[in-house]
Structure 1
């Protein structure tokens, strides 16, 4: 191999030697929990369309996985086959995912919001052999959509439908047989090698072009070990997974983490804030994770009279930098330590603020590298950035993805294993980083770089502002001007003069003030809650001066 190219074999050897790749399956930890506490509640699944949640003990969950694994093998699903799962946060997701791992298949989590356009591409590109969908979810007929796509997907051999009827119904297809395919003996990895692709997840599409990200059991396990260690999580915890299982926050930092440590895992399929915090209060939830929007919703629900989740002690907040005002509010109103995290589909949970320093650091950083992960900030010329200097963020380590599926033309790592995140960041003198936009997030107005995140956070402090995103639009004289897209709290108003008065009150340089305000019903987001600023930039192009547009 060329000295100038990344060597995955050497990387794997280094990760094993340092103890960050453990070559273990989730089956091994599941068996240990079943042996120790078979009747402990493993999974509770709350469905908005049902009055009573589904509850499974660890021994019941283990038996369902064994039955489903035997059924998958009978259907011809085995090593390397792709099982796509387009389910909400339902218990069936956990059963099919762990059963697929057991037979050596690849799990491809898909968001329920995807429709024909996205699915035709993703299922075809992945060469999906089995697709699991709900019959209906939020009034949409997923079964009909899946069947309409099948003629154009020659590799798709099976469609299984949760709540479906007949042979293709989930219960009949996977759980009705008497045969069991049990886990391999403790200490043996089983059908799925720990360094081979186990999960294929498409990027969220903040740039509009999803790519297939490949993870293995070792990288997923590295994520779980890193989070459990930094958070101090163990079998005594109860976790609410309200972030979608179709995204790594829900799938890896929620479901897999909880089952790996033997905790009780609670799924909520539709995020309704009042119901969510009520579940937290009733079930004694100690940990949850999600984007800042979930945290804001929780605060609003409790302020409106919902029961306060008294046992909730840690919240992992990921997806975007958290407004400091929201962190302060969560601590003041919920007695909750919000731990900031930065990660990507490619690098999972890379930096995290530990609970002991959450109040001090989460409001101004996105954490420090978890064990097995390293980050660095570089100037555009490749030289190291100074402490506090904004630059390009790079990451490497135990949680890094294997590469992009079917994209041998893309080399995501440099020779030393560093991955270019595309994020801009700065680092403090203790090694904590702060995400400061993406390369494409920069607004350059009259030669000055507008500190977009800082201005967004200032606007968030306005009582009327529920959410905000600032993007640039073309200007013939200054190059770019800033437009603020704002979602207002119900019953409130805001105009540009009010925004500018707010900026003046906080003594912000006028060059940084938004020069246009657009009130919108909602901001376009990825399934993970990240604002899709590229869509806002397209909208904002219409605000350019006529001369600028004519010359474009």
Structure 2
């Protein structure tokens, strides 16, 4: 679908007369007028202006442009601006540690970096000069004296006339996004127009019954916009022209609440971390989710109690929850729908949200194989999940050999362990590197959330020798010994739980726990049980 290509996308919507109103949780970093409400024509103008800034910086067709900044939807707008002039945007979360940003920039070998002076200052305070890894740096704000020597402030390129939108071959790199990095350094995933637009965004930009946006919907999104989902979601969601779109930059409930209350959503997509953080809002008598007919969670399986909370919060008679499982390299691989009835049972050891459902019909295929031989295992037996999809990425920037190491006979190794049921459903066990012998960390975490209502976050760290370590965050920082013993009575043996505060957990940009960092901190770098070959 040519109309979904990012460069001219918002121009096409403006010419079409799309009346969608955009509402933001805070002003964009690329706009200095303090606005939080836009029409489509305003967004189109902003993208064109940003394309002019990049052209004024000397960015040319085929150049890579790294974007590192605080999380917000203008990651997507900068990606559209770069694509408009034929450049390749590389979106990298500003939440990553400075040493990780340095490594990713080295792998990327970008012509330019678009960032903020605060981002540069924070990295420099940690001993990293991000400007050293690109030839030009553009700061979106006015840098403090000495904060970014050699960087070009936005004022210096404002008003530069944007060139007309450029087309590129469908199989040429379109955009680069990074993986979450829960098990190590994130990978830079390269997608083409074919994989990202024609295969992923176009598949969602259709009015599928029940799950597609309607023209009278108020659609809300809360994600890390540096990840691939931010761009593909924006293309498909705006193409369907809902009445309003709410874009939230933070998972902090106090920050998100004013926008959610001012414009109660009818559909809401968010990361599992955002849903967990907002549960206090969902349990309030006048909660802002009372009109939601459709919830969608991406990036990770979600805990059953969270699904129950939100399905109970809406006044809709038959609300639906859609869980999508996939990866940055592949896009969605499976989906599963939940209703109030399907998550009613609590406290038992049953799959619920670990049942990922079936492969996307006509688009993806899955098989479970022996991790050593790659031979298919019988249904009902655990193994490494392999995927086949036409939306597979073109490779990893700076690590092209890595994609070859994760591929076999046209199948891509996801790095997840699972079980294919006789009915064709996929049950998630663990990331291979995080697995525990004869069990599932993900199952244990689900059960702990179900049986211990005060637990905000549960992480089970497996290790090659010794019992798995459960790491818990509770609402008041305490854990009753008797409640713990009851909760784990029928679970595999676990070590004594470690209690942490939420701010002590190392998190990715999507709110997932960086397990390897937590392992290094709490287990003195004890090796995991898995080999980690497919991370």
1:363 to 331, 353, 359: 353
Q: Is the 8 A contact 1:274 1:302 kept in 2?
A: no
- 1:364-415 deviation digits (Å, cap 9, x = unpaired): 4223222522222223443333333322111121321111123343314545
Q: For residues 433 and 64 of structure 2, what CA distance do their matches in structure 1 show? A: 34
1:400 counterpart residue number: 392
2:441 counterpart residue number: 452
- Post-superposition offset of 1:484: 0.8
2:139 counterpart residue number: 160
Q: For residues 473 and 354 of structure 1, what CA distance do their matches in structure 2 show? A: 33
Q: For residues 416 and 145 of structure 1, what CA distance do their matches in structure 2 show? A: 47
1:482 counterpart residue number: 468
Q: For residues 78 and 494 of structure 1, what CA distance do their matches in structure 2 show? A: 61
Distance 1:142 1:103, change over 3 A: farther
2:47 to 49, 62, 65: 65
Q: For residues 27 and 345 of structure 1, what CA distance do their matches in structure 2 show? A: 21
Q: Does 1:224 align with 2:210?
A: no
- 1:407-465 deviation digits (Å, cap 9, x = unpaired): 34331454542110110112334433222102122223xxxx12322222111121221
Distance 1:95 1:205, change over 3 A: closer
Q: Is the 8 A contact 1:143 1:161 kept in 2?
A: no
2:363 to 340, 349, 372: 372
Q: Does 1:213 align with 2:189?
A: yes
Alignment of 1:49-198 (within 5 A): 53-90=35-72, 92-136=74-118, 141=121, 149=129, 152-153=132-133, 155-162=134-141, 168-170=152-154, 172-173=155-156, 175-177=158-160, 179-183=161-165, 190-198=166-174
Q: For residues 37 and 473 of structure 2, what CA distance do their matches in structure 1 show? A: 38
Q: Secondary structure at the match of 1:99?
A: helix
2:454 counterpart residue number: 464
Distance 1:173 1:235, change over 3 A: farther
Q: For residues 524 and 48 of structure 2, what CA distance do their matches in structure 1 show? A: 56
- 1:210-248 deviation digits (Å, cap 9, x = unpaired): 332111122222222334456223554433232111223
Alignment of 1:294-305 (within 5 A): 294-304=274-284
1:35 counterpart residue number: 15
- Post-superposition offset of 1:142: 5.5
Q: For residues 278 and 422 of structure 1, what CA distance do their matches in structure 2 show? A: 39
Distance 1:364 1:119, change over 3 A: closer
- Post-superposition offset of 1:95: 3.0
Distance 1:542 1:414, change over 3 A: closer
2:480 to 477, 494, 507: 494
1:7 counterpart residue number: none
2:532 counterpart residue number: none
Distance 1:48 1:225, change over 3 A: closer
Q: Does 1:382 align with 2:348?
A: no
Q: Is the 8 A contact 1:228 1:234 kept in 2?
A: no
- Post-superposition offset of 1:359: 4.2
1:341 to 324, 327, 330: 324
1:442 counterpart residue number: 435
4+ residue runs of structure 1 moved beyond 6 angstroms?
A: 48-52, 143-148, 355-358
Q: For residues 507 and 449 of structure 2, what CA distance do their matches in structure 1 show? A: 17
- Post-superposition offset of 1:305: 5.6
Q: Does 1:321 align with 2:301?
A: yes
Q: Is the 8 A contact 1:393 1:423 kept in 2?
A: yes
Between Structure 1 and Structure 2, which shows a larger proportion of helix residues? Answer: 1
- 1:284-316 deviation digits (Å, cap 9, x = unpaired): 423333332211222222324663223322222
Of stretches 458-467 and 142-151 in structure 1, the one that deviates more from structure 2 is 142-151
Q: CA RMSD in A?
A: 3.4
Q: For residues 39 and 173 of structure 1, what CA distance do their matches in structure 2 show? A: 33
Q: Is the 8 A contact 2:5 2:193 kept in 1?
A: yes
- Post-superposition offset of 1:33: 2.0
For these two proteins, the number of residue pairs brought into alignment is 498
1:525 counterpart residue number: 507
Distance 1:82 1:490, change over 3 A: same
Q: For residues 311 and 212 of structure 1, what CA distance do their matches in structure 2 show? A: 38
Highest Rg: 1 or 2? 1
Q: Secondary structure at the match of 2:312?
A: helix
Q: Is the 8 A contact 2:195 2:391 kept in 1?
A: yes
Q: For residues 34 and 472 of structure 1, what CA distance do their matches in structure 2 show? A: 52
Of stretches 301-310 and 126-135 in structure 1, the one that deviates more from structure 2 is 301-310
Q: For residues 138 and 128 of structure 2, what CA distance do their matches in structure 1 show? A: 11
- Post-superposition offset of 1:469: 0.9
Q: For residues 140 and 377 of structure 2, what CA distance do their matches in structure 1 show? A: 52
Q: For residues 165 and 182 of structure 1, what CA distance do their matches in structure 2 show? A: 34
- 1:37-83 deviation digits (Å, cap 9, x = unpaired): 25542463525999965222111211222232233223321222111
